[in-house]
Each structure stands twice: as structure tokens, then as C-alpha cells.
Homo-oligomer: A and B are copies of this chain.
Amino acid sequence: MFLRNAWYVAAEGREVGRTLLHRRLLDEPVLLYRGEDGAPVALADRCCHRHAPLSKGLLEGDRVRCGYHGFLYEPSGVCVEIPDRDRIPPGARVRSYPVCEREDWIWIWMGDPARADASLVPTYYTNRPGRWKSVPGYLPVASSYLLLVDNLLDLSHVSFVHANTIGSRDDKNPELVWDRGDRWVRGTRTVRGMAPSPRQMQDGADFPIDQTKIMTYTAPADVFIDIWTREASVPAGQAMRHDTTQLILDFLTPETATTAHYFWSNVRNYKLDDDAYSTYVDRLMVRAFEEDRAMLEAQQANSDPRLPMIDVVGDSGSLQARRLLDRLIAEEQRLASAAA
């Protein structure tokens, strides 16, 4: 059971073009492409005739033609041509999903199209003061998207899972407080005087640092982490040898109940034009998220829903996030039942 009236990331913008991209989202087959003007299109990837995937067909201008018997569809999902002079029956159409491109991603709305409000698609760095460099990435993960949300809201894993990449073994015993709103949960996590991670050393910080991470979960599937890293123990008002901000954007779109698409970007406010550094960041993040993937897939395979889990204080954020999402799904279901 997924929350449907919500924006999910369907793809990186750079993945979608004038070839047909199939992607399973919320357990539905979706076709993604761009029209001749570059605008993204998302259709149900299942011909209304005999259920062949449209992604095995061909683009004709803004339209897509099924590769099996040649049904031709508009971006609206309406079938406008059936070969051999066949009349087009009423109902010959596929679902068209509202889509919206923001920053590095194409977002999709898989619920009631009437409720899709493009103004609610978030932007994370382009409307933020200052200059920013975004390094996006993608991995498919054989675990529920919820395990990815848990992962990102309990950063105590970083010093264990990522000790050799983005974590510091010293990243422990934080000050950590949570607050929340109607559709979000936020944690503010500070660790002072810790040893730098491999990346921070690469950045020149070969001395103790203070780090504050603000993790914001927004239902159903976004986790935004704002990381402020600075030289430790520098009195207010005095110059620091290190002071950087990284934004880690994580979009965790369900593929099925037990698999997910992990989209991310590592956004920074320094070394903006240093391409070699961007390549370093790209590879580092892939390596780090491969570490998460290995753990999450093992966890998914090893989980036994009949057995209890022990909750500790560190789970506070993810437990609140789960409750929030459960409430939103229950409300949506109630609404749908009432409407029917």
C-alpha cells in the first residue's frame, strides 16, 4: 500500500529523452520519454489492446506507437490511431501521469490527477542563496523504500557502514533533537570535535571538526540532509580553517513492495567548478551507497515480520516517520472509500 497522492521522483532528467524508458513505479509499469519540445511524458507502459509494453514501440513525434499491433497514443494517453481502418473504441487509452521537472529530476504523480499541484514539487538547492554544485546519482535497491528511509534517519549507521568512505569512526554520541510537522519529521544532530572522514581529509580538514546534520523526512519518500561541517572549537567570531555545507538529497521511490529506486544528489557550496572533485564525489557517493545497498538488501532478505524488533532512542526519527506515513496512507484510503 503506497501513498498515491504525492510527488515521487520517476527518473533523473538526464535519463529521459527521445528513446523510450521503462520504469516500474509503485508497482506499475511506466513509460517515460520527452516530446519534441523536451517536455517529459509519463504513460502507463501497457497498451490498452493486449497489454504489450509501449516501451517496446517507437516514438512518432510527440506520440508513441505500440510495437505489437501499432496502436498510436498521444501524450494525453488517448489512442488516436488503430491500423487496418479499425474504429477507435471508446476507452482506448492508457493512463497519463502528471509529471514535472525540477532540478535534476522528473517527478511523477501517481494518484488522482486532479490533485496534482506542480507548485508542491520541492526544490532543494536552486532556490537557496549562494552557488551550488549538484552531483546526482542512482542505484536500484532490492529492499523496501521504507528501509532506505530508516537508514537515512538513523545516522548512527554512518560510522559503521561507511567508515571507509563518507563516515568517521568518531561520528558518535551526538546531540540529537527531533521535531515534526504535518507531513515532515526533522532531526538536528550535532557531533563536536570528531576526527575527519576520508572525504573531509580530502577537503583539507586534517584536524578535528564539528558537524551538524539536519535530516528532514518529507512524506512519502524524500529525505533531505543539510550538513554543516566546520573546524572544531573555534570561538564565535574567529576565522575557521574549514567551513562547508553539503546538501544530501535522497529520493526513495518504491519500485515494488520490496524493491526501490534510490535517487540522490550530493550538493555542495565549495569547489564549484572543480570537475575532478565532482568526479571524486560522484564515485565516493556511489561507493558509499553501494555499502548501504549491500546492508539493506541483506536486511530485507533477513527480516522476519513474525519476529519483534527492539527499538532504541536512535530510532526515534524513523518511528515518527513511519507513523506519519501510516497516518497519511490511512487518510488517503478513507477518502478513497468515501468517494466510492
Which chain A residues have a beta carbon within 8 Å of chain B's beta carbons? Answer: 29, 45-46, 48-53, 56, 65-70, 79, 82-87, 89, 91-92, 150, 154, 156-157, 159-161, 172-174, 176, 294-295, 298-299, 302-304, 307-315
Contact = CB atoms under 8 A, between A and B. Distances in A.
A50 B315 CA distance: 10
Given A29-B302, A67-B295, A313 B87 contact: yes
Nearest to A79: B310
A230 to B, nearest CB: 21
Given A29-B302, A174-B84, A302-B52, A70 B160 contact: yes
B159 A311 contact: no
Contact of A304 (B51, B82, B156): B51
B312 A51 contact: no
A310 B156 contact: no
A87 B66 CA distance: 59
Given A69-B314, A154-B69, A160-B68, A51 B307 contact: yes
A302 B69 contact: no
Top 3 closest A-B pairs, CB basis? A51-B303, A86-B312, A48-B310
Contact of A310 (B45, B84, B92): B92
Contact of A84 (B56, B66, B172): B172
A314 B83 CA distance: 9
A50 B84 contact: no
A156 B81 CA distance: 13
A200 to B, nearest CB: 20
Q: Which of A48, A84, A309 has the most CB of B within 10 A?
A: A84
Contacts of A157: 68-70
A145 to B, nearest CB: 15
A99 to B, nearest CB: 21
A67 B160 contact: yes
A314 B84 contact: yes
